[in-house]
Amino acid sequence: MQKTFSLSFPLTLALALWFLLLAAVQPAAAQRRRGGDIVRGLDVFNAVYLDLERHYVDTLDNRRLLRDAVDGLLEQIDPYTEYFPESRTDELQQMATGKYAGIGALIGVRPDLDRCIISFPYEGQPAAEVGLRPGDILMAIGGTTLPPIGTTPPDDYSKAVSNRLRGAAGTQFDITVQRPGIARPLTFTVRRRTIVIPSLTAAFMADDSTAYMLLNGYTEHTARDVKLALVNLKRQGARRLVLDLRGNGGGLMEEAVQLVSLFVPRGSTVLYTRGRQPADSTAYATTADPIDQTMPMVVLTDYGTASSAEITAGALQDYDRAVVMGSRTYGKGLVQETHEMPYGGVLKLTTSKYYIPSGRCIQAYRFENGQPVALPDSLAHTFHTAAGRPVRDAGGISPDVEVKGDTLPNMLYELEQSDAFFDFCVHYRNTHPAIAEPEDFHLTDADYDALCQWLKERRFTYDRRSLETLKHLRRLAEAEGYGEVARAELDALEAKLSPNADFDLRLWKDDIRRLAEMTIVSFYYYEKGIVRARLPHDKVMTEALRLLNDGARYRAILAPPGGAVH
């Protein structure tokens, strides 16, 4: 984050007066105490900084230091209160609307190539329409050659390139790229347009009677898009629904309310907020008639399900309208508003907490190392759904049916992030004009051997978590006087745990092959292709379909305690 104004003495005084006005609603003694603390704190900060500016041995970077001061202040509040300088307000707008004007592609910085590349063009957007592909190296934009990264910080270089790709909708320009495996550069003429990143990633029939929808966020028109898709799927014979909210970080709270309204009666309270100011305490209820109140539903959640996605899952759970399946959600029950700041900046500020229909606040109880921590259920308060089922406020939404995902080795995560793996998939795309449908595409044993040889030639390396744990154990043994006694055993164990790519590529062959298949599929069929390729191997999805095909079990889960199952 950046800060474009400095804390001069007049501004310090103005801030102090502002805080004193805010304190006017408090008792006089508390008002004086808080006001005095604020004035003293700002006076100290102002005096320290002015002394640094006058006497410090080197010239200070005022903008950076003051920006860091604001960042440090906000980091002490919560992870979601954030300052956006004028140069980043378009980023905030994009977060809220899912819109921007450009070519519709993610770009990535590659220091090893001294350039930026096209990482992923979105389906149906200008970059994909003209034929740009993942891995294309950006050489020139608008007829102007891009300089190499050189000594420029990679993040700054990437941002500069991204800014050149964006512009007014309707403007046309040329992009020249170097495609791996092709000798001559390729030039494409692209017309910028307003890019709307759809929050509904996929919507199709998972089987003859079950609809599947994957939401990746909550932006403008999310509820409308879900409604239209559901109507269409019901025409295709959908009688059941799996709503996949895994990895959905949320977004616009109002869209969550409207989405829930598709499935519960008009006038149903979806959530209410509570803040310090009366204006920050509001109830939100559905205002439209639902399109389906009886279709059996399973909502899939995981640790990446947060904010508005948790409102959806929690409200449907509280009204016994759907079975929540998967793992506990993230635990973000805070509401942010945007406040205008001096010099065009915007402060995204947490103003209240939200509570779902049962009365639960899903906000995590505390954070450790930036991650939310849930309370044990034994320490949480018990609430009840509309049917009387017990639910708790331990932080996040606990699923009705817990299904843990497969545990994968650290190697797979590092492999997925590696340039060598990405480059192999790019090479495959550029040497195979077409592949089978996502569900039917598979790499041959020869293809897998080629991947292993590719990684070996490019010296792919990774760290094992077990080896990191062993290093920690060594330090503990040394500190407690057992270093020499246990050295031989620890050395032998370290030799066994040292990364062995050949061994791990054989051990995890099926998982690595599937990862490569899904990545390659995305280069032909985009995000929808990834979903179609993944679902047949998705343990949680398999369990959801099994539950929806067992009506008695489904009804038993949602039945009130001691209630009859029909």
When mean pLDDT is compared over 152-156, 280-284, 325-329, the highest value belongs to 325-329
User: 3-state DSSP: the chain helix, strand, coil percent, rounded to 5?
Assistant: 45, 20, 35
The per-residue pLDDT for 18 is 44
The per-residue pLDDT for 20 is 43
The per-residue pLDDT for 87 is 75
The per-residue pLDDT for 547 is 98
Which of these, 286, 476, 338, 316, lies nearest to 397 by C-alpha position?
A: 316
For residues 401-409, average pLDDT: 84
Question: How much of the chain, in percent, has pLDDT values that exceed 70?
Answer: 88
Backbone angles phi, psi at 540, to 5 degrees: -70, -40
Provide DSSP, 66-118: HHHHHHHHHHTT-TT-EEE-GGGHHHHHHHHH-EEEE-SEEEEEETTTTEEEE
| Position 6 pLDDT exceeds 50 | no
More confident residue, 499 or 298: 298
Question: How much of the chain, in percent, has pLDDT values that exceed 90?
Answer: 58
Cα–Cα dist 78/352, whole Å: 12
**pTM greater than 0.85 (yes/no):** no
For residues 127-149, average pLDDT: 97
The per-residue pLDDT for 114 is 95
The per-residue pLDDT for 115 is 96
Give the contacts of 446 (CB within 8 A, at least 6 positions apart). none
| Position 126 pLDDT exceeds 60 | yes
Cα–Cα dist 521/531, whole Å: 10
The per-residue pLDDT for 485 is 72
| Predicted confidence (pLDDT) per residue in 232-279, tens digit | 999 999 999 999 999 999 989 999 999 999 999 999 999 999 988 887
The per-residue pLDDT for 240 is 98
CA dihedral in degrees (313, 319, 320, 324; nearest 10)? Answer: 10
CA distances, 495 to each of 177, 234, 462, 488 (Å): 45, 58, 15, 11
DSSP lists the bridge partners of residue 240 as 210
The per-residue pLDDT for 465 is 61
| Predicted confidence (pLDDT) per residue in 331-343, tens digit | 998 888 888 888 8
pLDDT band, very low/low/confident/very high, at 31 (cuts 50, 70, 90): low
The per-residue pLDDT for 287 is 93
The per-residue pLDDT for 334 is 87
| Position 1 pLDDT exceeds 50 | no
Strands, E assignment, 341-409: 346-355, 366-368, 371-373, 382-384, 390-392, 401-402
For residues 466-470, average pLDDT: 63
| Position 10 pLDDT exceeds 50 | no
State the DSSP code for 346: E
Q: Which of 11-15, 145-149, 204-208, 496-500 bottoms out in mean pLDDT, i.e. has the lowest?
A: 11-15
Q: Which of 202-211, 225-234, 411-420, 460-469 bottoms out in mean pLDDT, i.e. has the lowest?
A: 460-469
When mean pLDDT is compared over 42-46, 54-58, 465-469, 553-557, the highest value belongs to 553-557
Cα–Cα dist 455/446, whole Å: 14
For residues 397-405, average pLDDT: 93
Mean pLDDT of the chain: 87
The per-residue pLDDT for 383 is 95
Catalogue the long-range contacts made by 276-280 (C-beta closer than 8 Å, 24 or more residues apart). 276/351, 276/352, 277/351, 280/335, 280/337, 280/351, 280/352
| Position 359 pLDDT exceeds 90 | yes
For residues 64-73, average pLDDT: 84
For residues 489-512, average pLDDT: 76
Q: Which of 1-10, 249-258, 428-437 bottoms out in mean pLDDT, i.e. has the lowest?
A: 1-10
Residue 415 burial by Cβ neighbours in a 10 Å radius (0-12, 13-18, 19+): buried
CB 191 within 8 A of CB 220: no
Cα–Cα dist 459/457, whole Å: 5
More confident residue, 207 or 462: 207
For residues 101-108, average pLDDT: 93
| Position 497 pLDDT exceeds 70 | no
Cα–Cα dist 128/190, whole Å: 10
CA distances, 136 to each of 71, 116, 321, 430, 524 (Å): 36, 9, 47, 10, 14
